[in-house]
Every structure is written in C-alpha cells, then in structure tokens.
Amino acid sequence: SSAARTSPHSGHLKQHERMHTGDGERPYHCNQCDKTFSDSGHLRGHQTHTGERPYQCFQCGKSFSESGHLKEHRRIHTGEKPYHCNQCDKSFSRLERLKGHQSIHTGERPFHCTQCGKNFFRSGELKRHQRIHSGEPA
C-alpha cells in the first residue's frame, strides 16, 4: 500500500514481510563470519564475536549480549510467568516453554526422527532418541 511506502516505518514493514514471503532475501551480512540475516536486529543479536555482554543483571551479576535475554533472565529472580496455558492452570516464564507444553494438550509431536519416523513432543526428547541411531551413550 502507498501508506506503507511513505511511512517512516516502511523499512520495518519490509523486514517483517521477508519473514512471510519465503523469498530467502538475507541482505544483512556478518563481517566476522559467513552468516546472513533477513533483518538488522537479527544480525546485531548474532554478533557475539566480540564477546561484548553489556546487559548485566543487578541481582546476580550475570551478563548478556542482548537486552531481551536479560529481561528473560530476570524472571528467574522475580518468578514472573507471563505466558499462560489456556487449557490448564500452568504458566511459563518463556513463550517457547508454553508452546512446548501446549503440545501435551493437542497431541502434536512436531519433532520427527528422520532415521525411524518416530515423533516427539520436545526437541530434547528427539535429540536423546537420536543417540540410539548414532551409537552415542544416552
């Protein structure tokens, strides 16, 4: 739309649209390695080559490379669990944990073993299972 083209945020819209189009455009390149990204924020998040961790928890001193990771970490101290399951009374500090939990209610097992076809609720369960095929100790 013409509003999107003239908006001061049209660059953000373009970045966001790249996630949905699947055109594979990844114009942001890391100058330390060969990784590329669809938006500048992901590139900034990736750039850990310097080891810089400017975001520090004032309660325990642990430091992070991204402010969002610090915010997520602080929930350990506050006990905040903002992600609530709409099927039961469980709450989670991280969205990924809620999504993993919800598969219990749906029966969905999205993690698939390509060796034998078995499906799992969580990626960790799949990784543990794959040791059977690789011969690694469980």
Domains defined for the chain, CATH in brackets: 2-46 (3.30.160.60), 109-138 (3.30.160)
pLDDT of residue 135: 81
How confident is the model at residue 116, as a pLDDT?
94
Residue 37 pLDDT: 81
Residues 6 or more apart whose Cβ sits within 8 Å of residue 80 = 74, 93
Contacts of the segment 51-57: beta carbons below 8 A, 24+ positions apart = none
pTM of the model: 0.53
Give the DSSP letter of residue 92: E
